[in-house]
Structure formats: C-alpha cells, structure tokens
Structure 1
Amino acid sequence: MELSFVILFFAGLITGFSKFSVGGMGLLVLPIVMVSFPGPQALGILLPLYIITDLMAVASYKNKIAWPVLARFLPLALLGIFIASHFLATIDADQFVVFLGVTILAMIALGLYLDFRPTSFMRKPWVAYSMGFFGGAVSMMANAAGPLFSLFLLEQKLDKPTYVSTRAWAFLILNFVKFPLYMGLGLLSMKTIETSLYAIPGLVIGSFIGFHFLKKVNPIQFKWMIRIMSTIAAFKLFLFT
C-alpha cells in the first residue's frame, strides 16, 4: 500500500506540473498509475485530478476564450467520447493495456512527424475537425489526447492567451462529460475518488513548481525527455500483457 501512495503522489506531481508548465506529460501519468492500479480502473482514479487541475487552470486563464472555436470543436469531441465509451465497455484489462501502449506510441510518432514535416495539411477543415473527434475518443480511452487537441486549436490561429484559455476550458468540459460515463462503466466510484485524494499533495506541489519554474524549463529538451520516458512506459505496458 505504501508503494501505491508513492505512485499516486508522483502521478499528482506530474499532473500538476504538466498542466501549469509545458504540458505533454499526460502520456506518462497513466502508465505510472497502472503499476499499482492495472487496467481501466486507473482512468477513474486520474479523472478527479484532471478536473481539479482544469478548474485551477480556467481560474487562472479566464479572460480570453474563443467560444466559437469551442462550439465547432466540442460536438465532434463529444461524439468521440461517447463512441469510445462503448468500446471501453467491451474490452478487458489486457486489451486495454495493449491499446494504451499503441496509443502512446502513436501520439509520440505524430509529434515526431510534425516536428520534421510541414503542417499545412492541418489547415484543411476536415482534417482539423477530425482531430476533435479522435481527440475525444483518445481522451476517453487513454487520457492522452493533448497532442490532438493542440493540433486542432493551433490551426485556429489564436493568440497565446486565447489558446491557453480555450484549451483549458475544452479539457474541463470534456472531463466533466466523462465523469458520469466513467461512473456508468464502473471505473469511477467513491472508492476510486478516495484513492485519488492521496495524490492531492503531489498535485499541489507539482502545480506550484510548474507555475513558478515554467520560464526556467527548456521546452525542447523537456519534450524529448518526456518522449523517451513515455516510449519506455509504452514498451513496459506491452511486457506486462
């Protein structure tokens, strides 16, 4: 049980730091939690943490929100969430682990591709909006849709404050929608919420560090570090199946 407390603390630390700094660490958090809480149950343990950080983020970035962009983005993302909920209800723990590993590697591959190739194709409306759909599905199944959401929002040509605010509100709305769906799937209960509470100290510390040390972080080096660690986590998931 002590190991579980340590894992939850680090999950909260990483979640808080990622939300208030350079982001991109969502691919790493779920595999860490699954060391002590294998299978889809880990999704329910993490969701309250994401909602807490989302509320903190929208409180910090509440002035400039591109509501028309959200109005175009959310219907497709919500559709992706509802379809993924049916898929999530039909797979077992081993299949979930394989799916998560494949998803993590796919998100890393997408990031690498976009680093070295032009993104002009993303300006096509059907491509940009498909990012909303697949982002909703991946969010429901793996809590790892940050890269897809970012692709959609970056193509809307928003200034930085508006981008950050709109992204924070998008995550908050989608995570609130996922809450009753996770409850219906049996992944979220009072027991899992009580388990989530053990991550709160790490969440607070991580948010504080991320907020105050953002300017001292080298985003490029940090991005590569997260990619390497996430790749290792993905291959460990395959070894566990």
Structure 2
Amino acid sequence: MDSVMVVLFLAGLITGFSKFSVGGMGLLVLPIVMIAVPGPEALAILLPLYIITDIMAVFSYRSKIAWSVLARFLPLAFLGVFVASHFLANIDGEQFVSFLGVMIITMIALGLYLDYRPTSFMQKPLAAYSMGFLGGIVTMMANAAGPIFSLFLLEQKLDKKTYVSTRAWAFFIINVVKLPFYISLGLLSVESTKTSLYAVPGLVIGSFIGYHVLKKVNPIQFKWLIRIMSTAAALKLFLFS
C-alpha cells in the first residue's frame, strides 16, 4: 500500500502541475499509475482527479465559451467514448497495455506533426467530426486526448481567453460523460475512488507549483522533456509488460 500511495501522490503531483502550467503531461500520467494499478483499472483511478481539476478550471473560466464550436466537436466525441467503451470491454490487460503504448507513440507523433505542418484543414466541418470521434476514443482509452482537442480548437481562430475557456469546458463535459461508462465496465467503483484520494495531496501541491512556476518554464524545452519521458514510458509498456 505504501508504494501505491507514493505512485498516486506522484501522479496527482504531475496532473496538478500540468493542468496549471504548460500542460501536455497527460501521456505520462497513466503509465505511472499503471506501476501500481496495472491494466484498464488505472483509467478509473485517474478520472476523479481529472474531474477535480476540470471543475477548478471551469470555475476559473466561466465566460467566453464558444458553444457553437463545442456543438460541432462534442457529439462525435461522445460516439467515440461509446465505441471505445465496447473495445475496453472486450480486451484483456495485456492487449490494453500494448494498445496504450501505440496510442502514446501516436500522440507524440501528432504533436511533432503539429510543430512543423500547417493545419488549416481543421476548419472544415468534416475535420471537426473526425477529431471529435478520434478524441473520444483516445480519452476513453488513455485519458490523453489533449493534443487532438488542441489541434482542432487552435484552428478555430478563437482569442486566447475563449480558447482556454472552451478547452476547459470540453474536457469537463467529456470526462463527466465517461463516468457512467467506466462504472458499467466495472472499472470505477467506491473502492477505486477511495484509492484515487491518495493522489489528492499531490494534486493540490502540483497545482500550486504549476500556477506559480508557469512564467518561469521554457515551454519548448519542457515540451521536449515530456515527449522524451512519454516515449520512454511507451517503450516500457511494449518491452516489459
């Protein structure tokens, strides 16, 4: 139990820091939790933490939400969550670990693509629907759809405050929608929620640190550090699962 508490504290620390600083650490958190809680059960351990930080975010960003943008994006995201829930119900722990490794590498590759290629095609309705569906699958399977959401929202020509508010509400709504699916799959329970509480102190400390060091962080260097660490985590899933 001591090792579980340490791992979850670290996961909470990273989650809080990421949410209130430069972001992009979602790819790293799930493999860390899986050290203590192998398999899809780790998804349910993390979901309450994400909802807590989402509530903090939407409370902070209550205005200038582009609901019309969310209306194009969210319906297919819900469908993606539904499809992914059926996939989760029919794979074993080993298959989940392999799939997660592939997904992490894919999200890192997407991030690299976005650094060097134009993405004006994201303004087209078909792209909105495609990104919504794909984002729903990725968030349900790995809690790591941040790059996909950002890819779509950044190309909607929103001002900074509207972008931040809309993104915060997108995460909050989708994470709440995921709750009944995780419960029906037997992943989320009273017991798993109690386990999630071990991460709350780290979450609070990480949020505080992230908020206060945001202006001191070099976002480019930090982004590459997270990519390297996430790639190492994905390789660990492939080679040592």
Do they fold alike, i.e. is TM over 0.5? yes
Q: Which runs of 5+ in 2 are unaligned?
A: none
CA distance in 1, matches of 2:66, 2:201: 32
* More displaced stretch, 29-38 vs 55-64: 55-64
1:19-34 matches, within 5 Å, as: 19-34=19-34
CA distance in 2, matches of 1:66, 1:117: 25
Q: CA deviation at 1:124?
A: 3.1
CA distance in 2, matches of 1:82, 1:204: 31
Amino acid at match of 1:75: P
- What TM-score, normalized by structure 1, do the two folds share? 0.98
1:186-219, Cα deviation, whole Å (9 max, x unpaired): 1000110000000000000111111121111111
**Paired position in structure 2 for 1:39:** 39
Q: CA deviation at 1:36?
A: 0.8
**Paired position in structure 2 for 1:10:** 10
Any idea what SS the aligned residue of 1:34 has? helix
Amino acid at match of 2:205: I
1:155-198, Cα deviation, whole Å (9 max, x unpaired): 11111111111111111111111111100001000110000000
Q: CA deviation at 1:58?
A: 0.5
Residue 224, structure 1, aligned to residue 210, structure 2: no
Any idea what SS the aligned residue of 1:211 has? helix
1:136-215 matches, within 5 Å, as: 136-215=136-215
CA distance in 2, matches of 1:79, 1:108: 24
**Paired position in structure 1 for 2:65:** 65
Any idea what SS the aligned residue of 2:24 has? coil
**Paired position in structure 2 for 1:109:** 109
Amino acid at match of 1:134: L
CA distance in 2, matches of 1:13, 1:119: 33
Q: CA deviation at 1:152?
A: 1.1
**Paired position in structure 2 for 1:51:** 51
**Runs of 4 or more consecutive aligned structure 1 residues displaced over 3 Å after TM superposition:** none
* More displaced stretch, 138-147 vs 116-125: 116-125
Contact 2:119 2:155 in 1 (8 A): no
- Identity level (%): 78
**Paired position in structure 1 for 2:84:** 84
Q: Which runs of 5+ in 1 are unaligned?
A: none
Contact 1:129 1:152 in 2 (8 A): no
- What TM-score, normalized by structure 2, do the two folds share? 0.98
1:135-168, Cα deviation, whole Å (9 max, x unpaired): 0110001101000011111111111111111111
CA distance in 2, matches of 1:50, 1:229: 21
Q: CA deviation at 1:118?
A: 2.0
Contact 1:65 1:166 in 2 (8 A): yes
Q: 1:97 to 1:148 in 2, by over 3 A?
A: same
